[in-house]
Amino acid sequence: MRIELVKRAEHSQTMTVVSPLIAIALTLVCGSILFAAMGYNPVEALYAYFIEPLTTSWSIEELLVKAGPLILIAVGLSVCFLSNSWNIGAEGQFTMGAVAGSVIPVLFYDYTGVMALPLMIVMGVLGGMAWASIPAFLKVRFGTNEILTSLMLVYIAQYILDFLVRGPWRDPDGFNFPESRLFDAAHVLPKIGEGRLHIGMIFAVIAVLAVWWMLSRTLKGFEIKVMGETPRAGRFAGFSSKGVIWFGFLVSGGLAGLAGMAEVSGSIEQLTPVISPGYGFTAIIVAFLGRLNPVGILFAGLLLGLSYIGGEAAQVSLGLTDKITRVFQGMLLFFVLACDTLILYKFKVVSNAKRIKEAANV
Amino acid sequence: MSDISMIEAVLLTIITASTPLLLAAIGELVVERSGVLNLGVEGMMIVGAVIGFAATQATGSPYVGIVAAMLAGIAMSVLFGFLTLNLMTNQVATGLALTILGLGLSGMIGEAFIGQPGISLKPIAIPGLSEIPFVGSLLFNQDILVYTSYGLVIAVYLVLFKSRTGLIIRAVGDNHSSAHALGYSVISVRYLAVMFGGACAGLAGAYLSLIYTPQWVEGMTAGRGWIALALVVFASWRPARALVGAYLFGAVSILQFHAQAAGIGLPTQLMSALPYLATIVVLIVISRNKNLAKVNTPACLGKPFVPDR
Amino acid sequence: MENTQRSAHSAGVEDLIEARGITKKFGDILANDNVDLVIKQGEIHALLGENGAGKSTLVKILYGALEPGAGEILWKGKPVSISNPAAARKLGVGMVFQHFSLFEALSVVENIALALPKGEKIEALSRRITEVSQKYGLPLDPAALVADLPVGIRQRIEIVRCLLQNPSLIIMDEPTSVLTPQEADQLFITLQRLASEGCAILYISHRLEEVKRICHNATIMRHGQVVGSCDPTEETPASLARMMVGGEVHEICASEHKGSPGDVMLKLRNLSIPSDGAFGIELKNVNLNLRGGEIVAVAGVAGNGQSELFDAVSGETLIKDGYGVEICGVPVGKRKINDRRLLGSAFVPEERLGHGAVPGFVLSDNILLTRYKSDPDLIRRGMLNQSLAAEMEKRITVSYDVRMSHDNPEARSLSGGNLQKFVVGRELDRVPKLLVINQPTWGVDAGAAALIRQAIIDLARNGSAVLVISQDLDEIYELADRIAVISRGELSEAEPAAAMTPEKIGLLMAGMGETRSKVTASNAGDVHAH
């Protein structure tokens, strides 16, 4: 006897919704085992990790601050992944968006007109797009593997940022700290409420709605999905594969750049050598957990945002290492991918007699 | 004389920088020859690094560490194999997941070891040969992993191109349907290849934490797993070219150190970014030659095998 | 009756393999219906029949790749069960498939080694390959890379791989369909030599001329049944074709099309396209005029340039000479598929799933796939009009009787016949001025086939032009006003269906109309000489 996967006739609508939930459940089960192995009471640890942060308005706000960039980047990545392009360098596009978005506050800090922020936003988007257009160009022109090029560009972007904040963009009054000058108030994104929450989260919500609308309602979205699933049928429909590659990279790069700009302008308010706790990579998990659907990504982004906050909270309350956050995130992605199989396949138990008959049928 | 010892010192550091790349690349080369694209090299490597370090600290023996690192790499690769081969998940996404999980796990496991001085693996001088001036100390007074890396290049070459096992691996990577039709078990062959790749990535990790910088530093692989992946493309899936490629990259990363030390006017960050930039340039050069890529790329690379019933 | 027909060649020779009452069903389709077949040692036995006659099913059963629903197989008089290809190979049955199971990145000797038991050194095997290949006139370089070899040589690898297993029976599925005439002649010499050494060959082919030339016996299948057997040396290609197609068939062909010819809707002028890759076919100087109101069918054996022709007409392959393809009087050689659709043409490709439709998309989305440009209401300012697409989906599935488990399912969940009705209906719903359709009823149940053919005829009778590419002669006679035959990338003159007897089509399919084969005929003598 053995277990066999049998292809379903159609995508299971139920599993499309349920499979991420199963993945979350499995992650929590494994997490409990992990906590127990480390000598913590799993119930207590899970409470500290996932529930407690939701009990104070301060940490909910902090959660939204973290979820904003995750959602922005992941929404862009979903467009790219749906079209079967593998941009895994969002972290680099995020960085370059932050750098480009900081040109005005760092170099033209005197310019504090009303157009300063809109210009910064545009430049952030363009910075991310420019960085993403390198792998896109190389893929379209030479067929170069976009996975490796986009990833290598992450490291290069980080060195560029490092060079700037330690070199030409270093704050002259900053006691030699590797930081840019603090942004002028005119160069800081408006806050929502009293705390740290800024309008970056609103950008994220707008991006979710816009991309959801684009994917589900417009010809462009249709084209992306066709080319991602069946390029041959896409050509029969008259779509261009090069155009789709460019579109996916520019959208994902632009949104990652916007997220980077919003992070430095809204949260950090200056450029520092490290501006991201791996948002660009965590967003890949968010995109898959949201099943490449912008609305799903909204929820997935909140959950992954919670995992960041929860890690910090559990460190404070239980002395748990915050490194466990990355483990949770990695496990979650694994389970999400494994459970996705359930959407197209179902499990069947095959007895030995049947199996021999089938072997004869090969 | 001092010039020679200077050159010798530089060459020694190049060997040190190249060995982890070579170990990881040679493993992934076999994996890709069987038609599987495992993008999780970075993750398997860093888990190997931390487990190797931890086992060495616990037992006092780096050799135990090396074995532990290999086993850790294999364990990670089996996870990848289960998803991609049994559950037929997307190989790209699953490889990414493996990297993310590996980075997370290593960070958590390694937290206790941060700042601990490690036990370095001692070189083994080969009697007689190591006495040869210059060449002797470079090639025959190395640690076991350097010897292993050379041995692996030769062994992988022989197995892949001179043995029936290698023939089956290449056949499965070229056309899994034909291999299945001839009665070969595509899934088993791929599992073994993936596990070999995991073991090699684990070794590469152990090299970093036991020899390269004998201590645990979070994220110490610093993209070397990804560079190893690019090396496999650069090598067009041939072991000897992987050796050349690894040493070329090792040289680039060492020379930029020396250039920084020598104080040429370029920003250090630009020099540090050089290996990554070089990777991109190499990938472009390779992909521009469409014919080369077409002939050598395993035709089934990255395609899931779904046996039809 | 069989005994009298069998030539002296097989008299007194032991039966090698006998199949009795083989029956195999696929769903509702009876692929093999109580089939009997006897092959003697040392004979070349032809298995004749059109596509879908049940030849491949029978052969797969003999090779252990399919399990028969009923019936038994006797090997040298003893009942055997051939449960898988390995068992067949053990008995001594070898097979050369039409679609090879080769590894392109590996050398010839490596490809062969993979099919043989382990233990033999590559060098020793190379020598054996050279020996065997020379002995049978199939020269092979053991060190050559398969990717570099033309299709004809690739087939040699399959044959030599088979021979090295010392088989008593070799099954060959359409072996000459991928060969040049010269290569085919070479193959015939090899087969005759094998037969003279006592090896039996089951030879599946469409090409009647060659069956007559080399086969000792022939079994003819139609619609899953054995309809006769004969000694092909005593027949003419014409009489063989009649047996294969069935005498009654061309009576239906009397065309109703008497109206005045309409305007030229599709014009192919000296259309030539170089082949793309090793398995591609080069289109050579194709000419065709297709007028409104008429149906022209392109007949031919699979892989003779049909899909290349389809892609060139649809615009999936663009050509340098804009005038090579004209649709409704407009030169469109350089224009893309949607421009051609806007001129009033519609296309139905051979592959329903993955080319004509996206498997994982629901039907209404699959309507958008080909009609978003030609139906301006489907897209308004870049936005999809999904309610209109859903309306169209209802209309099309009702009028073309597409049966589904629920409304608007994913394309991949439909059966072949229902999906084909949908894909055809999607295009006919537009009432195109020109319809180009490749294999309209391939692998489709009889009911769906009848519906689709009727719809095609109705379209033409209302003034549209239809180009049907098909490998099914029954279908061609049922539909076509004029028939052309494609063979190795060359298209014969389209002639009125009434003038195209099955014999003539068979001969054209067998390559009699090709310019190149005339040259070969004169060379054939030379080849035989050695």
Question: Which ipTM value was assigned to this complex?
Answer: 0.88
Per-residue pLDDT, averaged over C493-508, amounts to 84
Name which of C515, C514, C489 is nearest C311 in CA terms: C489
Reported as type and span, the H/E element at residue C227 is: strand C225-230
- The pLDDT value recorded for residue C514 is 59
Interchain contact, C105 vs B178, CB within 8 Å? no
Interchain contact, B171 vs C110, CB within 8 Å? yes
B299 contacts in chain C (CB < 8 Å): 104-105
Mean pLDDT, chain C, as a whole number?
Answer: 84
Interchain contact, A222 vs C358, CB within 8 Å? no
Nearest to A226 among C341, C347, C369 (CB): C369
Higher pLDDT, C148 or C297: C297
* Residue A345 at interface with chain C, using a CB cutoff of 8 Å: no
Instruction: Choose, out of C84, C110, C161, the residue to mutate when testing the contact with B (most B CBs < 10 Å).
Output: C110
Q: For A39-59, what is each residue's pLDDT tens digit?
A: 889 999 899 888 988 998 888
Size of interface A-C (CB pairs under 8 A): 76
- The pLDDT value recorded for residue C209 is 76
The mean-pLDDT minimum among A24-33, C25-34, C314-323 falls in C25-34
List the single residue in B with minimal CA-CA distance to C115: B182
Nearest to A288 among B93, B226, B269 (CB): B93
* Residue A359 at interface with chain C, using a CB cutoff of 8 Å: yes
* Residue C276 at interface with chain B, using a CB cutoff of 8 Å: no
CA distance C218 to C232: 6
Q: Where are the alpha helices (DSSP H) in C116-150?
A: 122-135
- The pLDDT value recorded for residue C52 is 66
Interchain contact, A361 vs C338, CB within 8 Å? no
Residue C480 has pLDDT above 50, yes or no: yes
- The answer to whether the Cα torsion of A316, A319, A322, A325 is positive or negative is negative
- Contact criterion met (CB below 8 Å) for C168 and C92: yes
Which residue is associated with the tokens 């099914």? Answer: C472
Per-residue pLDDT, averaged over B217-226, amounts to 92
* Residue A47 at interface with chain C, using a CB cutoff of 8 Å: no
Residue C277 has pLDDT above 70, yes or no: no
The letter for the amino acid at C509 is M
pLDDT tier at A354, thresholds 50, 70, 90: very low
pLDDT tier at A333, thresholds 50, 70, 90: very high
Residue C530 has pLDDT above 50, yes or no: no
Interchain contact, B102 vs A330, CB within 8 Å? yes
Nearest CA to CA, how far is C122 from chain B (Å)?
Answer: 9
The percentage of residues in chain A with a pLDDT greater than 90, rounded to a whole number, is 73
> How far apart are the two ends of chain A, measured CA to CA in Å?
18
Residue B79 has pLDDT above 80, yes or no: yes
The percentage of residues in chain C with a pLDDT greater than 90, rounded to a whole number, is 48
Residue B6 has pLDDT above 50, yes or no: yes
Which residue is associated with the tokens 């190795």? Answer: C488
Nearest to C369 among A217, A237, A360 (CB): A237
Residues 6+ apart with CB under 8 A from B75: B198
Q: What is the DSSP letter of A54?
A: G
Question: Strand order in C70-75's β-sheet?
Answer: C29-40, C15-26, C70-75, C78-80
B271 contacts in chain A (CB < 8 Å): none
Structural tokens at position C510: 């067998």
List the single residue in B with minimal CA-CA distance to A134: B280
Per-residue pLDDT, averaged over C380-396, amounts to 93
- The pLDDT value recorded for residue C525 is 35
Residue C99 has pLDDT above 80, yes or no: no
Per-residue pLDDT, averaged over C340-348, amounts to 96
Q: For the packed helices A219-229 and A241-262, what is the interaxial angle rounded to 10 degrees?
A: 110
- Contact criterion met (CB below 8 Å) for C191 and C178: no
Q: What is the model's pTM?
A: 0.85
pLDDT tier at A153, thresholds 50, 70, 90: very high
Beta-bridge partner residues of C38: C18
Angle at C253 between CA C250 and CA C259, to 5 degrees: 160
The mean-pLDDT minimum among B144-153, B294-303, C280-289, C500-509 falls in C500-509
Higher pLDDT, C217 or C513: C217
Size of interface B-C (CB pairs under 8 A): 44
- The pLDDT value recorded for residue C3 is 40
- The pLDDT value recorded for residue A109 is 93
Nearest CA to CA, how far is A7 from chain B (Å)?
Answer: 10
Q: Where are the alpha helices (DSSP H) in A194-351?
A: 200-217, 219-229, 231-236, 241-262, 279-289, 294-318, 324-344
Mean pLDDT, chain B, as a whole number?
Answer: 90
* Residue A237 at interface with chain C, using a CB cutoff of 8 Å: yes
Compute φ and ψ for C43, nearest 5 degrees: -105, 150
The percentage of residues in chain A with a pLDDT greater than 70, rounded to a whole number, is 96
C144 contacts in chain B (CB < 8 Å): none
Whole-angstrom CA distances from B135 to B7, B129, B249, B253 are 12, 9, 21, 22
The rounded Cα C25 to chain-centroid distance in angstroms is 21
Residue B254 has pLDDT above 90, yes or no: no
- Contact criterion met (CB below 8 Å) for A250 and A224: no
Nearest CA to CA, how far is A90 from chain B (Å)?
Answer: 13
Q: Write the DSSP assignment of B39-66 as a string of letters.
A: TTHHHHHHHHHHHHHHHHHHHS-HHHHH
- Tell me which long-range contacts C81-90 makes (C-beta under 8 A, separation of at least 24): C83/A359, C83/A360, C84/A359, C84/A360, C84/A362, C85/B181, C85/B183, C86/B183, C88/C62, C88/C63, C88/C64, C89/C165, C89/C167
Interchain contact, B89 vs A341, CB within 8 Å? yes
C230: helix, strand or coil: strand
Greatest distance between any 2 Cα atoms in chain B: 71
Nearest CA to CA, how far is C370 from chain A (Å)?
Answer: 5
pLDDT tier at B117, thresholds 50, 70, 90: confident
Q: What is the DSSP letter of B20?
A: H
C337 contacts in chain A (CB < 8 Å): 235-238
Q: For C165-216, what is each residue's pLDDT tens digit?
A: 889 999 998 787 666 666 778 889 889 999 999 999 999 876 677 888 899 9
* All chains having 3 or more CB pairs closer than 8 angstroms to chain A: B, C
Instruction: Choose, out of A3, A7, A8, A155, the residue to mutate when testing the contact with B (most B CBs < 10 Å).
Output: A155
- The pLDDT value recorded for residue A13 is 86
Residue A119 has pLDDT above 90, yes or no: yes
Residue C521 has pLDDT above 80, yes or no: no
Nearest CA to CA, how far is C1 from chain B (Å)?
Answer: 40
pLDDT tier at C405, thresholds 50, 70, 90: confident
Name which of C314, C379, C422, C428 is nearest A222 in CA terms: C379
Compute φ and ψ for A76, nearest 5 degrees: -65, -45
Nearest CA to CA, how far is C406 from chain B (Å)?
Answer: 26
Nearest to B181 among C101, C104, C105 (CB): C101
* Residue C320 at interface with chain B, using a CB cutoff of 8 Å: no
CA distance A131 to A111: 26
Interchain contact, A159 vs B223, CB within 8 Å? no
Nearest to B279 among A142, A148, A361 (CB): A148
- The pLDDT value recorded for residue C520 is 39
Nearest CA to CA, how far is B178 from chain C (Å)?
Answer: 5
A327 contacts in chain B (CB < 8 Å): 101, 104-105, 107-108
- Contact criterion met (CB below 8 Å) for A128 and A93: yes
